[in-house]
Amino acid sequence: MSKIILVVEDKKEEQLIAKKAVLDGGNKIIIADTLNKAEDFIEKFSEKLSGIITDIHFPIDSAQENFGGANGISVVITSLKHSIPCAVCTDDIAHGASYIPLILKRLEMLIKREIPISGTKDWSDALQQLTELLEDQS
């Protein structure tokens, strides 16, 4: 049975790469390009989502097209609230955000489970890590 994966990414070219990786893996995909859309999808479809792969830097809403704060941390926390496995796919070095892995490690200590991170913006790698996480949980 195919899984439904929510991908959170604001850049169209990255969305296409993520979409190919998810579909090539035999899964279905939902794409959100802002924090508000991601949280709406999670709230509405939490029972149907198999997992989430999120970027870290993207806008809160459409009005903030040019601002991309570290809103992926909120997606990770929302996924935890709904017990949906989540992986992070970001190029934290390009963003000068070396603090992101540290924040994720602190969250892992709190929840006592792994939050996979692909720090090179490799959607196939992030999907593989999410798939392994899903297999470990079943």
The CATH architecture that domain 4-137 belongs to is: 3-Layer(aba) Sandwich (3.40)
User: Which pTM value belongs to this model?
Assistant: 0.90
Task: Please say whether the beta carbons of 126 and 116 come within 8 A.
Answer: yes
| pLDDT tens, position by position, 18-70 | 999 999 999 999 999 999 999 999 999 999 999 999 999 899 887 766 566 78
| pLDDT tens, position by position, 73-111 | 999 999 999 999 999 998 865 566 677 788 888 888 888
Three-class SS of residue 28?
strand
The alpha helices in 8-138, defined as continuous H runs, are 12-24, 35-45, 72-81, 99-111, 123-137
Phi first, then psi, for residue 87 (nearest 5°) are -120, 155
How far is residue 121 from each of residues 37, 46, 111, 125, 131, measured CA to CA in Å?
21, 25, 24, 9, 17
Return the half-sphere exposure (C-beta side, CA atoms, 13 A cut-off) of residue 81: 10
